[in-house]
Amino acid sequence: MKQRGYIRLSIVATVSVLVATGALVVTRVELTQAQGLGVGPHLDEIKHDYRRPAAHPVENQALVDLGRGLFFDARISASGKTACATCHFPELGYVVTDAHPRNDSGKPTSRKSQPLIGLGYAGNAPVGWDGRSPTLEAQAKASMATGSMSMRETDTPVKIETIEERVKSAPGYAAKFNAALPGQPIDVDAIALALAAFERTLEPGIAPFDRWIAGNETAISESAKRGFVLFTGKANCAGCHSGWRFTDDQFHDIGTTTTDQGRGREIKDPALNFAFKTPTLRSVALRAPYMHNASIATLTDVVRHYEKGGIDRPSRSPMLVPIQLSERERLDLVAFMETLTEDGPRPSR
Ligand code: HEC
Ligand code: HEC
């Protein structure tokens, strides 16, 4: 990525110098017309970086199937009323639009939930807006033992052993656990293994953008194409929202109005105060309002936020420099982001 960016810059620089001397004016105009986008032939190179990899093969289908069942089963919560899917709707990319969905204690969560699509490609990236869990397994376990599934914020929390017993005695589960994890006890660790295996299979659906990348020039509008050029160029969005999932899986303070110290509090490093994990932009159009605190209402407002650069404070990313966009460019960026939603039938509950 970095290298391509560099090549791109040097091409632009070279072309500009030549244009300044008048030598290449004609070629430059021809290129522009050929592409219709005001960029040179290197657009194909940039597009190359956004090709989807082949879907990961599933290692243990029985484990994934078990995990899917558990994800939608409220019996793994303390009250028996909350499922993982309560705050992660499949049809929205496994997220909800509520700013603060209610947890199993009946209390609002402190942050918006996160989409789960594409997590199978996130490698060892820490899990959570602030990265407080090292793995998907740890996140699932914490959620049941002490988190949103636990009733910990009430006078009647439920021990994890009670949940384990409930799952063990539920009809059908013993056989499924045995098929997925032969010889292993049915406990919170096994439940977490299954949930995580299921989560790793949540592929972002094929979107118009993918068809464009694959070579179909009519899959997305000219406006969206210009938006992609801005996104990967002048507006520098791809500095963080990189690659086909549109995330670097890193933590940045982008200057939102927040009092939540995020990653900084988690790892006790003030340089990362107000920093949160870069969200994937897959299916982003489905899940307004935006950010960890749902502080930005629409995609257009998000673009306006980046134009100003957000609140200037020591932890703010140096990449958050104010940018100037015309009304058309703003629309183009939004049109581009709207091409990242799958248009086939979406998964449902
Ligand atoms: C009450 C709502 C709620 C329920 C129930 C819930 N979640 Fe979440 N989920 C959230 C919120 C809020 C976040 C963001 C947490 C944070 O960083 O503060 C989140 C974040 C996550 C993440 C992190 C994604 C990432 O990109 O880092 C995963 C994975 C996840 N949840 C899985 C689960 C699983 C598995 C269950 C069931 C065991 C579950 N969730 C139940 C609200 C919920
Ligand atoms: C310095 C890294 C960085 C850059 C550059 C950047 N983003 Fe982001 N983006 C993030 C982070 C981190 C968040 C989540 C911040 C939060 O919740 O506080 C985010 C959130 C978003 C969201 C909300 C997604 C959601 O699910 O809530 C959108 C949309 C978005 N960015 C689009 C853009 C666009 C468009 C640009 C370019 C104009 C851009 N980003 C540039 C890091 C970056």
pTM reported for the whole predicted model: 0.90
45-101 pLDDT tens trace: 899 999 999 999 999 999 999 999 999 999 999 999 999 999 999 999 999 999 999
Task: Give 263's contacts (C-beta < 8 A, 6+ positions apart).
Answer: 130, 131, 251, 269, 272, 273, 275, 276, 277
Residue 253 in contact with residue 275, Cβ under 8 Å?
A: yes
283-308 pLDDT tens trace: 999 999 999 999 999 999 999 999 99
Query: Are 61-199 and 205-344 the same fold in CATH?
Result: yes
CA distance 232 to 227: 9
CA distance 248 to 291: 16
User: DSSP assignment, residue 144?
Assistant: H
Q: Which residue has the tokens 């490698």?
A: 123
Atom index in ligand 2 nearest the CA of residue 114 equals 26
| Second CATH level (architecture) for the domain 205-344 | Orthogonal Bundle (1.10)
3-state secondary structure of 112: coil
CA distance 89 to 72: 10
Q: Which amino acid makes up residue 339?
A: T
Lining ligand 1 with CB less than 6 A are 82, 84, 86-88, 101, 103, 109, 111, 113-114, 116, 119, 127-130, 136, 139-140, 143-144, 148-149, 195, 199, 277
Atom index in ligand 1 nearest the CA of residue 129 equals 17
CA distance 98 to 78: 22
Lining ligand 2 with CB less than 6 A are 235-237, 239-241, 252, 254, 256, 276, 278-279, 281, 284, 287, 290-292, 299, 302-303, 306, 317, 319-320, 333
* For residue 254, pLDDT beyond 70: yes
Q: For the domain covering 61-199, report its CATH number.
A: 1.10.760.10
3-state secondary structure of 89: strand
Instruction: Give the residue extent of every domain in the chain.
Output: 1-49, 61-199, 205-344
Instruction: Tell me which of 95, 116, 228, 252 to substitute to probe ligand 2's pocket, judged by most ligand atoms within 8 Å of the beta carbon.
Output: 252
195-230 pLDDT tens trace: 999 999 999 999 999 999 999 999 999 999 999 999
Residue 75 in contact with residue 172, Cβ under 8 Å?
A: no
